[in-house]
Amino acid sequence: MAATSTAEPSAALLAGRPPPRPALFTRRRIRSAAWQTALAVALIAAGYFAHLNVTRNLAASGVAIDFGFLTREAGFDVSEQLVAYTPKDSYARVLFVGFLNTVLLAATTLALATAIGLAIGIASTSRNWLVRNLARIYIELLRNLPKLLILLALYIAMVRGLPLVRAAWTLPGGALLANRGLYLPWPEIPVGTVALSAIAVVWGAATRIWARVVKRHQDATGVRRPLALPAALGLVLATGFASAAGLVEVRWSMPALTGFNITGGAHLTVQFTALWVSLSIYHASQIAEIVRGGIVSVDKGQREAAAALGLRPGRGLRLIVLPQAMRVIVPPLGNQYLNLIKNTSIALAVGYSDLVGVMNTAVNQTFRPVELMLVVMLVFLAINLSIAAALNWFAAWSRPPGKTA
């Protein structure tokens, strides 16, 4: 099939005719579909033969694959739980508790590691000698240390170095830190949960509309209107009006020493805090190097052009350099995110009840390693595919028009 000339759409537009639609079947598309179909068939066949091999070996040992144990009573407790759970609940329930703990740890670590990595990566390209070299020391030191060593060192330091509950350190904002963990102030909404959710939805839609107005105005006039300040002001005014009208009531639960324990607020255990901080600072060093490579990949002439236009260095970095660097940053950043989610399994070293830790306990009780490992494998596969899909969407959304990967 002959290739379509690139001049045809322009000629068609000049003649007042719509451009021709791309052919539904081309050699490239047929070849791509054939390779994908062959790969899918090969994966299905490999899975089928693996299933036959496992079932035959188990049958020879007098064991059959059975997921009925998931409805039986678990009989063991977990150290962390985001939903109600007792040892009398089923194995399916305790696996769900472990899944939520893994998601919480992964989400909070992704956020903190990304923030630290972005800051350190930008600092490593700074013109200031001290800032640049301090960032390089952070990157080269932490990215070459075993993450398990960082975790154990931090966990031992927290358990032995932090004070008892009765002598807890008071941090800014009313937070308390002791050898039992970190206690943070936490908002409580006794009245107006639905109203607050509606305000959040309306505010998000209004912010999106305002962002489009700002972009169109900038494209038309070259003048950039403020975006973050009006959005924050609108949220404050909306929630303030709802509170004054009695539609929403927000209270802050503050941690306080009561007897021999601290009550109120949100409690982050020592295990979770050590995991969160250690994984965040370790993966932040990896992310910082990725960010540095993306910034360096942008031609110096872009910064010079931004300076010639009168843009401050920070604004030029945010509006010109970083958007172009994202095409280099996103692919390895996705690999780093998937690696981070996998590394949450080291939680077993400090007794945090994540999905892998719960699975190990369940295997010791039920002697069902194949079924439990299959469940855990599918859960991690679903999480990783979701992260990969989100990053692919972001890469396509942030790519300039007319550019291809």
Question: Per-residue pLDDT for 2 more than 60?
Answer: no
Q: How confident is the model at residue 283 (pLDDT cuts 50, 70, 90)?
A: very high
Higher-scoring residue by pLDDT: 28, 185: 185
How far, in Å, CA of 265 to CA of 173, rounded?
12
Helix (H) or strand (E) run with residue 261 in it: strand 261-263
> What share of the chain in percent tops pLDDT 90?
32
The model's pTM is 0.80
CA dist., res. 252 & res. 181, Å (int): 19
pLDDT at 336: 92
pLDDT of residue 4: 46
User: How many angstroms separate the CA atoms of 291 and 117, rounded?
Assistant: 7
In angstroms, the CA 242 to CA 345 distance is: 43
Decide if pLDDT at 1 tops 70: no
For all residues of the chain together, what is the average pLDDT? 85
pLDDT, tens only, 62-91: 777 888 888 999 888 888 888 889 889 999
Q: What is the mean pLDDT of residues 99-124?
A: 94
- pLDDT tens-digit series, residues 156-177: 998 888 888 888 888 888 888 8
| Closest among 104, 152, 135 to 287, alpha carbons compared | 135
- Predicted pLDDT of residue 405: 47
At 124, the pLDDT band (50, 70, 90 cuts) reads very high
**Range 266-282 average pLDDT:** 92
Cβ contact 17:9 at 8 Å: no
The yes-or-no verdict on residue 17 having pLDDT over 80 is no
CA-based angle 60:61:63, to the nearest 5? 105
Provide the pLDDT for residue 370: 85
Strand partners, 267: 183
Across residues 284-288, what is the average pLDDT? 95
| Span 234-243, average pLDDT | 86
CA 131 to chain centre: 27
Task: List all residues 6 or more positions away from 77 whose beta carbon is below 8 Å from its beta carbon.
Answer: 86, 87
Write out pLDDT tens, residues 183-198: 888 888 887 788 888 8
Q: Measured between alpha carbons, how far is 286 from 144 in angstroms, rounded to an integer?
A: 10
According to the model, what pLDDT value does residue 6 have? 46
Sheet holding 169-170, edge to edge: 169-170, 176-178, 181-184, 266-269
pLDDT score recorded for residue 282: 95
User: Shortest CA distance to 78 belongs to which of 272, 261, 265, 255?
Assistant: 272
**Token representation of residue 96:** 């769900």
Q: In the predicted model, what is the mean pLDDT of residues 110-134?
A: 93
What is the average per-residue pLDDT within 138-156? Answer: 92
Write down the pLDDT at residue 81: 85
When mean pLDDT is compared over 31-45, 111-125, 306-320, the highest value belongs to: 111-125
Domain 91-160+275-398 indexed as CATH 1.10.3720.10: yes
